[in-house]
């Protein structure tokens, strides 16, 4: 099975990812070279970046066309990294534009704020569930705050049935030992978790192979599941809103 990336900034000129279609193609080629077959393009749906998600399907279509022209064998899906303060600004139809999974099991990638989890994040995740969407928490290990509050927010999400998306660079130790330790602890704790590159280009390139090596060295049996079986499971089978998912 090829790898799948569920958090990847591929679309050009929309956020802090690639600024041109040429940069997007270089990023896509790097992902394909390390064995990735599917990418969910997840631009920041954020007040400072994308606020009108209706533009995203056309952007994805243009990237697909260029990939075909350059014979880069990648499947690209339309998604978004949803900021928690955008949840109430988007209608259900707009959320559907960036959601994944089959009907009745649709989910959204909800960005964990680098300042740390707070009541606003929990309220946003609960709002999505109330509107019928499951939640995949984006890079929770990078939202470290006071230990007790951080774990309480994580436990709330896991109890509600959320999956976790852990950054590849986190498990390699690129962001420091504290974040690496948190990332590994979350992968051991979560019933369903996927590792993704959160690639932006430049210094943040695709890193699933590096993550696989790091996880194997850390004692994870069948570490590949975090970069193939788990993300493909999320894409194919989705998540129930508000019900704990069995371990992958």
Q: What phi, psi does 157 have (nearest 5°)?
A: -65, -45
Residue 120 within any structural domain of the chain? yes
52 lies in which domain range? 3-237
Query: Using CA atoms, how far apart are residues 154 and 105, in angstroms rounded to an integer?
Result: 21
Residue 226 within any structural domain of the chain? yes
CATH number at residue 171: 3.20.20.140
Residue 243 within any structural domain of the chain? no
The helix/strand/coil state of 203 is coil
Residue 43 within any structural domain of the chain? yes
Buried b (16+ CB within 10 A) or exposed e, 129-153: beebbbbbbbbbbbbbeeeeebbeb
How many domains, the chain? 1
Q: What is the pLDDT along the chain (248 residues), one digit of tens a residue?
A: 799 999 999 999 999 999 999 999 999 999 999 999 999 999 999 999 999 999 999 999 999 999 999 999 999 999 999 999 999 999 999 999 999 999 999 999 999 999 999 899 999 999 999 999 999 999 999 998 877 889 999 999 999 999 999 999 999 999 999 999 999 999 999 999 999 999 999 989 999 999 999 999 999 999 999 999 999 999 999 998 765 554 34
Residue 245 within any structural domain of the chain? no
Q: Which two tokens stand for residue 6?
A: 């569920």
pTM of the model: 0.96
Residue 74 within any structural domain of the chain? yes
Residue 246 within any structural domain of the chain? no
Query: Using CA atoms, how far apart are residues 170 and 36, in angstroms rounded to an integer?
Result: 19
Q: Which residue has the tokens 């894409």?
A: 235
Buried b (16+ CB within 10 A) or exposed e, 183-208: bbebbeebebbbbbbbbbbeebbbbb
Q: Which two tokens stand for residue 202?
A: 């430049």
Residue 200 within any structural domain of the chain? yes
């Amino acid at each position: 099975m090829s790898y799948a990336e569920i958090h990847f900034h591929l679309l050009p000129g929309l956020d802090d990812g690639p600024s041109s279609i040429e940069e997007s193609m270089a990023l896509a080629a790097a992902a394909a070279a390390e064995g990735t077959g599917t990418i969910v393009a997840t631009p920041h749906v954020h007040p400072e970046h994308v606020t009108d998600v209706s533009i995203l399907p056309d952007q994805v279509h243009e990237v697909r066309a260029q990939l075909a022209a350059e014979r880069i064998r990648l499947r690209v899906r339309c998604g978004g990294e949803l900021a928690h303060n955008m949840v109430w600004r988007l209608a259900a139809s707009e959320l559907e534009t960036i959601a994944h999974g089959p009907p009745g099991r649709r989910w959204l990638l909800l960005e964990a704020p680098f300042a740390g989890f707070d009541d606003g994040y929990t309220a946003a995740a609960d709002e999505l569930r109330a509107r019928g969407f499951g939640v995949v928490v984006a890079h929770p290990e990078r939202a470290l705050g006071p230990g007790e509050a951080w774990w309480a927010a994580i436990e709330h999400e896991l109890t509600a049935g959320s999956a976790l998306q852990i950054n590849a660079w986190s498990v390699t130790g690129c962001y420091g030992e504290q974040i690496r330790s948190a990332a590994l602890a979350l992968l051991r704790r979560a019933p369903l978790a996927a590792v993704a590159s959160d690639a932006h280009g430049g210094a943040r390139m695709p890193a699933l192979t590096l993550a696989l090596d790091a996880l194997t060295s850390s004692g994870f049996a069948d570490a590949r599941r975090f970069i193939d079986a788990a993300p493909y499971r999320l894409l194919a089978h989705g998540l129930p809103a508000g019900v704990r998912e069995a371990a992958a």
